[in-house]
């Protein structure tokens, strides 16, 4: 299974969101920076905190041309309840096939019960990986302030931020 390095293209990954839409990444982010978050499940307090943090930062992220999508193995009903509870406005996918997602992205999989460990990717507007954060457990994940700082830095210091 691959581990992504800066500059690697992010693979095509289609997620089904709680409102029934099929969102294909990274294409859905074209023209913007993107953040892809795999979270362990609605039961994970660290995941809940991360999702809430990205929601709270939503306006700052949007103002900087950064879009977010999240995904877990949770079922539709559980995911819809999580979206409602935290008033999440970014797309949240459900029903991920942990093994298939891991094969595409290198995410770690917990064997029993099966779920994806926290994994995060920052993608440039061309769909290439800028940063990949792989965790093998509950902690170690992207936070919105770091993403904002990174994107601002890239925009100010590199001509290839959008290439």
Distances (CA, A) of 38 to 20, 102, 109, 145, 158: 18, 10, 11, 18, 28
What ranges do the domains of the chain cover?
Answer: 13-135
pLDDT grade for 158, boundaries at 50, 70 and 90: confident
Segment 5-43, tens digit of pLDDT: 999 999 999 999 998 999 999 999 999 999 999 999 999
Opening angle at CA 68, ends 74 and 110, nearest 5:
35
Sequential DSSP letters for 33-55: EEEEEE-S-TT-HHHHHHHHHHH
CB 28 within 8 A of CB 15: no
Share of the chain above pLDDT 90, in %: 92
pLDDT at 159 over 70: no
pLDDT at 163 over 70: no
pLDDT at 83 over 90: yes
Which pTM does this prediction carry? 0.94
Q: Give the CATH number of domain 13-135.
A: 3.40.30.10
Segment 107-136, tens digit of pLDDT: 999 999 999 999 999 999 999 999 999 999
CA 50 from chain centre, in angstroms, equals: 11
């Amino acid at each position: 299974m691959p581990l992504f390095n800066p500059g690697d293209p992010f693979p095509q990954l289609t997620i089904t969101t709680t409102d029934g839409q099929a969102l294909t990444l990274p294409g859905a982010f074209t023209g913007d920076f993107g953040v892809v978050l795999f979270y362990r499940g609605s039961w994970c307090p660290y995941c809940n905190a991360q999702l809430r943090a990205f929601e709270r930062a939503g306006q700052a992220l949007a103002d900087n041309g950064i879009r977010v999508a999240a995904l877990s193995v949770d079922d539709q009903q559980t995911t819809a309840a999580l979206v409602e509870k935290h008033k999440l406005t970014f797309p949240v996918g459900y029903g991920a096939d942990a093994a298939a997602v891991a094969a595409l992205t290198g995410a770690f999989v917990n064997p029993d019960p099966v779920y994806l460990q926290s994994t995060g990717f920052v993608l440039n507007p061309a769909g290439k990986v800028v940063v990949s954060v792989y965790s093998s457990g509950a902690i170690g994940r992207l936070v919105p302030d770091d993403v904002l700082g990174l994107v601002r830095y890239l925009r100010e210091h590199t001509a290839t931020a959008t290439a």
